[in-house]
Amino acid sequence: MAQRINKLSDLSDRIGFTLLSAPDRFPTVGAFGSDQKKNLLIAFDILQEGFPLVEKKIKDPAQLEKLQQLLKDALLAYQQGERKKGAHLLQDFEEIVFPNRFKEYEERKGDNA
């Protein structure tokens, strides 16, 4: 089975993987086989697996509901062949969960750039 999501950085990695692979470019490794429609469902199941971590970070029930809806809408868009819409919805989800991801990266990287 696919790597479990144990921390928020795992979820961030999985979002990136899904953005690059969805809806029909998943590599045939790990949990992903040759059936791309099934792979899409697996990818979103993995993202859902990380949702309890999101709930620990974001306490607002309305925001959590919005995030769940973004995931559902992104999956639906991908399933309907709307790659760009699906990606944008997934990026909207990512932006809410990780609003400072670029700033955090710069801070980790330090001033060596």
Where are the domains positioned within the chain? 8-109
Over residues 17-65, the pLDDT tens digits come to 999 999 999 999 888 999 999 999 999 999 999 999 999 999 999 999 9
Amino acid identity for residue 48 in this structure: Q
- The set of residues, in sequence order, having a beta carbon less than 8 Å from that of 69 and lying 6+ positions away, is none
- DSSP, collapsed to helix, strand or coil, labels residue 103 as helix
How many degrees, rounded to 5, is the angle at CA 84 between CA 61 and CA 3? 60
- The whole-angstrom separation of Cα 24 and Cα 109 is 33
Amino acid identity for residue 49 in this structure: E
- The whole-angstrom separation of Cα 36 and Cα 74 is 16
pTM of the model: 0.85
